Chain A
């Protein structure tokens, strides 16, 4: 299996621009998670989906952030407009249902820098 695939790996943008991060979960995994990692706050859960439906978005910082999962093999995290404080590494992770050990499988992350 190819694992969780994220793109882009690195993005540098200017304040005010729209940023779209993409994730392809492992085939057959029906849970998908978006985490954000910063030095100050560590790893924070932003949102997670089950069978393409958002279950918990309480970690989404504000209305500038939105996430979608139009099908089982693709999700996006969008920031509009972006701000310098959004600079972080954004990780996508997936897991299957039915084997309730909770282990998450992470992608390699998207490092976002907002100037």
Chain B
């Protein structure tokens, strides 16, 4: 079985602060990893994804994530957050040969102006 753990449930930051959201997964084989964002009242949108190659992945809006295989981690980072980044962030995993994504419980980010 595959599972995802997001350690931070609610994060509050001021604008321009740096962000790092933790994500650890559990799966014994090759994985594809994703971060999705859900702005208030909207559907989930893909922020970035990793499936092979460079473990440092760059996504939209200045976000990046690093896949560390030895730590089963895929943490999301942004050097300087904006008020518009206020949203819920979900990490997800898709093990090799599996078709459905398993999502973490989500991290609610609140950026104060």
Contact = CB atoms under 8 A, between A and B. Distances in A.
B60 interface: no
Interface stretch (B13-21, B44-52, B66-74): B44-52
Interface stretch (A20-28, A74-82, A106-114): A106-114
Give the one of B36, B103, B106 with max A CB within 10 A: B103
Interface string B69-113: 000000000000000000000100010001111111110000000
Q: What size tier do the contact residues of chain A reach?
A: 20 to 34
A91 B90 contact: no
Give the one of B34, B36, B99, B105 with max A CB within 10 A: B99
Given A31-B99, A45-B100, A101-B32, A106 B49 contact: no
B44 A102 contact: no
Given A55-B99, A108-B43, A109-B43, A43 B49 contact: no
Interface string B12-32: 000000000000000000001
Interface residues of B, number: 21
Contacts of A45: 100-102
Given A31-B99, A42-B105, 17 more contacts: A35-B103, A42-B103, A42-B106, A43-B90, A43-B103, A45-B100, A48-B100, A91-B43, A91-B44, A95-B99, A102-B32, A103-B46, A103-B49, A104-B44, A106-B36, A107-B43, A108-B43
B43 A106 contact: yes
9 contacts: A33-B100, A43-B103, A50-B99, A55-B99, A95-B99, A101-B49, A102-B34, A102-B94, A106-B36
Instruction: Identify whether the interface residues of A are mostly helix, strand, loop, or mixed.
Output: strand
A56 interface: yes
A44 B49 CA distance: 20
Interface of A: 31, 33, 35, 42-43, 45, 48, 50, 55-56, 91, 93, 95, 101-104, 106-109
B46 to A, nearest CB: 6
